Amino acid sequence: MRTERRHRPAFTLVELMLAVVLLGVMTTISILTFRAVTNGWRVSREYMDRLERTDYALDQLVSALKCAYYPHSGSQNGEFGFMLTDNGDGDSPRKSDTIEWSKKGTALIGSDSSGDAVHRLQLMVLEKGSDDWGVKIERTGLYARVKPHAKVMIEEGSTKDEKDFGFESDERYFPMLVAGDVDGFNCRVLKEPPQNDTRGKEDKSEWEDEFAESNAVPYKVQLTFYIEKEDPEYRSRKIRIPLLRTVRMPVYEQSKDGAALPGEGEDGGRSAGPRRVGGGGIRAPGGRGGAVPGGGGGGR
pTM above 0.75, yes or no: no
What is the structure's pLDDT at 5?
61
If pLDDT is split at 50, 70 and 90, which confidence band does 29 have?
A: very high
What is the structure's pLDDT at 3?
58
Q: DSSP states of 243-268 as a string?
A: EEEEEE-TTHHHHHSTTSPTT--TTT
What is the structure's pLDDT at 278?
33
- Mean pLDDT across the stretch 185-192? 92
Question: Are 289 and 147 spatial neighbours (Cβ–Cβ below 8 Å)?
Answer: no
- Mean pLDDT across the stretch 133-145? 84
- pLDDT tens string 147-175: 877 665 555 555 555 545 556 555 567 78
Cα–Cα distance, 125 to 262 (Å, whole number): 30
Phi-psi region of 259 (alpha: psi -120 to 50; beta: other; left: phi over 0): alpha
DSSP conformation class of 160: -
What is the structure's pLDDT at 293?
30
Percent of all residues in the chain with a pLDDT value above 70, rounded to a whole number: 67
26 has pLDDT over 60: yes
Cα–Cα distance, 228 to 184 (Å, whole number): 9
- Mean pLDDT across the stretch 96-123? 81
Mean pLDDT is lowest, of 33-37, 191-195, 200-204, for 200-204
Amino acid at 232: P
What is the structure's pLDDT at 113?
53
Cα–Cα distance, 1 to 24 (Å, whole number): 49
- Mean pLDDT across the stretch 251-263? 72
What is the structure's pLDDT at 79?
81
Task: Report angle CA 192, 198, 267 to the nearest 5 degrees.
Answer: 40
What is the structure's pLDDT at 181?
83
Question: Are 65 and 247 spatial neighbours (Cβ–Cβ below 8 Å)?
Answer: yes
What is the structure's pLDDT at 279?
33
Average of per-residue pLDDT values in the chain: 74
What is the structure's pLDDT at 160?
53
Q: Does residue 241 or residue 76 have the better pLDDT?
A: 241
Residue 223 burial class via C-beta count within 10 angstroms: exposed 0-12, middle 13-18, buried 19 and up: buried
If pLDDT is split at 50, 70 and 90, which confidence band does 30 have?
A: very high
What is the structure's pLDDT at 187?
94
Q: Does residue 23 or residue 110 have the better pLDDT?
A: 23
